[in-house]
A and B are shown apart, each in its own frame.
Chain A
Amino acid sequence: MPAITVGFSEFEARLKRIRRRVNLHSLVEALCISAACLLLAGTLSLVAAAALSEEFFTWVYRAALAAAVAAIAVSIWRLRGRWLDLQGTAIHVDRCASMDARVATLLAHPQADATSPLRPILLWQIFEHSSSWDVDKVAPWRIGRPMLACAAAVAVFATALLLAPPRQKDPPPHGPGRVATSATHDGDAGDNSSDGVSPLRLAATDSPSQRRNGSGASARALQAESSPLGQPKREGAERRGDNGGEDAQHPDLTGAENGGQPGDNDASEASEEQSGRNRAADAQGEPGGADQDPSRRSGSGGEDEPAAGQPDSEGGTNPDLASQDRGATRGSSDTPPPRAKSRRRDQAPQPAAAQPAGLAEKPSADTSSRDRGEGAQTADDVKSDVSNPPPSGVSPVGPGGSKSATNNPMKGKDGGSESLLRQPGIAPTTQSDEAQPMVIQLNAFATNPIDRLESQGVGKGTAGGEASAAAEEQVPIAATQAEDWMLQRSFVSRVHQAFLRDMFTPTGE
Chain B
Amino acid sequence: MTAPRPRTKENPVSQFQTTFDQIRHQIGRVVVGHQDVIEQILIALFAGGHVLLEGVPGTGKTLLVRTMAEALNLPFNRIQFTVDVLPADVTGTRMLFEQDGRRELVFTPGPIFTNVLLADEINRATPKTQSALLEAMAENQVTSGGSTFALDLPFFVLATLNPIEMEGTYPLPEAQLDRFLFKIYLPYPTADEMRQILSSTTRADLPTVDPVLEERVAATRIEEMKRLVREVLVAPHLEEYAAALVRATVPDDSKYAPTGKSVLPANDQVRRYVSFGSSPRGGQALLLGAKVRALLDGRVNVTHGDIDSVAVSALNHRLVLNFSAQAEGVDPRALIGSVLDAAKRLHR
- Interface positions of A (Cβ within 8 A of B): 1-2, 4, 6-7, 10, 87, 90-91, 100-102, 104-109, 116-125, 127-128, 130
Report the minimal beta-carbon distance from A132 to chain B, rounded to whole angstroms.
14
17 additional contacts (CB under 8 A) given A104-B236, A121-B13: A1-B6, A6-B1, A6-B3, A7-B1, A90-B235, A102-B301, A104-B238, A105-B235, A105-B238, A105-B301, A116-B300, A117-B12, A118-B232, A119-B300, A122-B233, A124-B6, A130-B2
- Is B216 among interface residues, defined by CB-CB distance under 8 A? no
With A10-B1, A102-B299 known as contacts, the answer to whether A120 contacts B6 (CB < 8 A) is yes
- Is B249 among interface residues, defined by CB-CB distance under 8 A? no
In the complex the two chains form, is A118's CB within 8 Å of B13's CB? Answer: yes
For the complex, would chain B's binding face be called helix, strand, loop or mixed by DSSP majority? loop
| A117-B295 Cα distance, complex, nearest whole Å | 13
In the complex the two chains form, is B300's CB within 8 Å of A118's CB? Answer: yes
- Is B303 among interface residues, defined by CB-CB distance under 8 A? yes
With A104-B237, A109-B233 known as contacts, the answer to whether A118 contacts B12 (CB < 8 A) is yes
In the complex the two chains form, is B231's CB within 8 Å of A116's CB? Answer: yes
- Return chain B residues, CB-CB under 8 Å to A106: 233, 301
Which 5 A-B residue pairings sit nearest by Cβ, starting from the closest? A118-B300, A105-B301, A104-B235, A105-B235, A7-B3
Nearest residue, chain B, Cβ from A103: B235
- Out of B2, B13, B302, name the residue touching A101 (CB < 8 Å): B302
- Return chain B residues, CB-CB under 8 Å to A1: 6-7, 10-12
- Is B101 among interface residues, defined by CB-CB distance under 8 A? no
- Return chain B residues, CB-CB under 8 Å to A7: 1-3
In the complex the two chains form, is A108's CB within 8 Å of B236's CB? Answer: yes
- Return chain B residues, CB-CB under 8 Å to A104: 235-238
In the complex the two chains form, is B12's CB within 8 Å of A2's CB? Answer: no
- Return chain A residues, CB-CB under 8 Å to B237: 87, 91, 104
- Return chain B residues, CB-CB under 8 Å to A120: 3, 6
| A39-B12 Cα distance, complex, nearest whole Å | 60
As a 0/1 sequence over residues 228 to 271 of chain B, the CB contacts with chain A under 8 angstroms (1 = contact) are 10011111111000000000000000000000000000000000
8 contacts between A and B (CB under 8 A): A1-B6, A6-B3, A102-B299, A105-B233, A105-B238, A108-B233, A116-B233, A119-B233
Among A7, A105, A122, A123, the one with the most B-chain Cβ atoms within 10 Å of its Cβ is: A105
With A6-B1, A122-B233 known as contacts, the answer to whether A100 contacts B299 (CB < 8 A) is yes
- Return chain A residues, CB-CB under 8 Å to B5: 124, 128
- Return chain B residues, CB-CB under 8 Å to A102: 299, 301
- Return chain A residues, CB-CB under 8 Å to B145: none
| A107-B302 Cα distance, complex, nearest whole Å | 14
In the complex the two chains form, is A100's CB within 8 Å of B6's CB? Answer: no
| A257-B7 Cα distance, complex, nearest whole Å | 95
In the complex the two chains form, is B300's CB within 8 Å of A125's CB? Answer: yes
- Return chain B residues, CB-CB under 8 Å to A124: 3-6
- Return chain A residues, CB-CB under 8 Å to B238: 101, 104-105
With A1-B10, A125-B299 known as contacts, the answer to whether A118 contacts B231 (CB < 8 A) is yes
For the complex, would chain A's binding face be called helix, strand, loop or mixed by DSSP majority? helix
| A90-B3 Cα distance, complex, nearest whole Å | 19
- Return chain B residues, CB-CB under 8 Å to A108: 233, 235-236
Within 8 A of A (CB), among B5-21: 5-7, 10-13
* Number of A-B pairs, beta carbon distance below 8 Å: 82
| A85-B268 Cα distance, complex, nearest whole Å | 34
| A441-B22 Cα distance, complex, nearest whole Å | 116
Among B1, B5, B233, the one with the most A-chain Cβ atoms within 10 Å of its Cβ is: B233
| A105-B301 Cα distance, complex, nearest whole Å | 7
- Is B25 among interface residues, defined by CB-CB distance under 8 A? no
In the complex the two chains form, is B3's CB within 8 Å of A4's CB? Answer: yes
With A1-B10, A91-B237 known as contacts, the answer to whether A122 contacts B301 (CB < 8 A) is yes
| A290-B232 Cα distance, complex, nearest whole Å | 84
Residues of B in contact (CB 8 Å), total 26
- Return chain A residues, CB-CB under 8 Å to B300: 116, 118-119, 121-122, 125
Nearest residue, chain A, Cβ from B297: A100
Report the minimal beta-carbon distance from B226 to chain A, rounded to whole angstroms.
14
- Is B304 among interface residues, defined by CB-CB distance under 8 A? yes
Report the minimal beta-carbon distance from A279 to chain B, rounded to whole angstroms.
57
- Return chain B residues, CB-CB under 8 Å to A122: 233, 300-301
In the complex the two chains form, is A2's CB within 8 Å of B4's CB? Answer: yes
Nearest residue, chain A, Cβ from B1: A10
Nearest residue, chain B, Cβ from A4: B3
In the complex the two chains form, is A117's CB within 8 Å of B231's CB? Answer: yes
| A109-B1 Cα distance, complex, nearest whole Å | 20
| A81-B102 Cα distance, complex, nearest whole Å | 79
In the complex the two chains form, is B236's CB within 8 Å of A87's CB? Answer: yes
Report the minimal beta-carbon distance from A163 to chain B, rounded to whole angstroms.
46
Report the minimal beta-carbon distance from A328 to chain B, rounded to whole angstroms.
55
In the complex the two chains form, is A101's CB within 8 Å of B303's CB? Answer: yes
Report the minimal beta-carbon distance from B147 to chain A, rounded to whole angstroms.
37
| A101-B11 Cα distance, complex, nearest whole Å | 20
As a 0/1 sequence over residues 202 to 245 of chain B, the CB contacts with chain A under 8 angstroms (1 = contact) are 00000000000000000000000000100111111110000000
- Return chain B residues, CB-CB under 8 Å to A100: 299, 301, 303
| A311-B5 Cα distance, complex, nearest whole Å | 90
- Return chain A residues, CB-CB under 8 Å to B3: 4, 6-7, 120, 123-124, 127
Nearest residue, chain A, Cβ from B14: A121
| A331-B1 Cα distance, complex, nearest whole Å | 71
Report the minimal beta-carbon distance from B292 to chain A, rounded to whole angstroms.
13
- Return chain B residues, CB-CB under 8 Å to A105: 233-235, 238, 301-302
Report the minimal beta-carbon distance from A131 to chain B, rounded to whole angstroms.
11
| A117-B233 Cα distance, complex, nearest whole Å | 10
- Return chain A residues, CB-CB under 8 Å to B232: 118
Nearest residue, chain B, Cβ from A10: B1
- Return chain B residues, CB-CB under 8 Å to A123: 3
Report the minimal beta-carbon distance from A115 to chain B, rounded to whole angstroms.
9
| A133-B11 Cα distance, complex, nearest whole Å | 24
Nearest residue, chain A, Cβ from B302: A101
As a 0/1 sequence over residues 136 to 173 of chain B, the CB contacts with chain A under 8 angstroms (1 = contact) are 00000000000000000000000000000000000000
| A130-B1 Cα distance, complex, nearest whole Å | 10
Report the minimal beta-carbon distance from A220 to chain B, rounded to whole angstroms.
74
- Return chain A residues, CB-CB under 8 Å to B4: 2, 4, 124
- Return chain A residues, CB-CB under 8 Å to B299: 100, 102, 125
- Return chain A residues, CB-CB under 8 Å to B231: 116-118
Nearest residue, chain A, Cβ from B233: A105
With A87-B237, A121-B11 known as contacts, the answer to whether A101 contacts B304 (CB < 8 A) is yes
- Return chain B residues, CB-CB under 8 Å to A101: 235, 238, 301-304
Nearest residue, chain A, Cβ from B291: A118
- Return chain B residues, CB-CB under 8 Å to A107: 235
Report the minimal beta-carbon distance from A6 to chain B, rounded to whole angstroms.
6
Nearest residue, chain B, Cβ from A121: B300
Among B2, B13, B232, B234, the one with the most A-chain Cβ atoms within 10 Å of its Cβ is: B2
Nearest residue, chain B, Cβ from A8: B3
| A120-B300 Cα distance, complex, nearest whole Å | 10
Nearest residue, chain A, Cβ from B239: A108
Report the minimal beta-carbon distance from A211 to chain B, rounded to whole angstroms.
63
With A101-B238, A102-B299, A102-B301 known as contacts, the answer to whether A118 contacts B233 (CB < 8 A) is yes
| A152-B13 Cα distance, complex, nearest whole Å | 54
Report the minimal beta-carbon distance from B340 to chain A, rounded to whole angstroms.
17
- Return chain A residues, CB-CB under 8 Å to B236: 87, 104, 108
| A203-B100 Cα distance, complex, nearest whole Å | 139
- Return chain A residues, CB-CB under 8 Å to B235: 90-91, 101, 104-105, 107-108
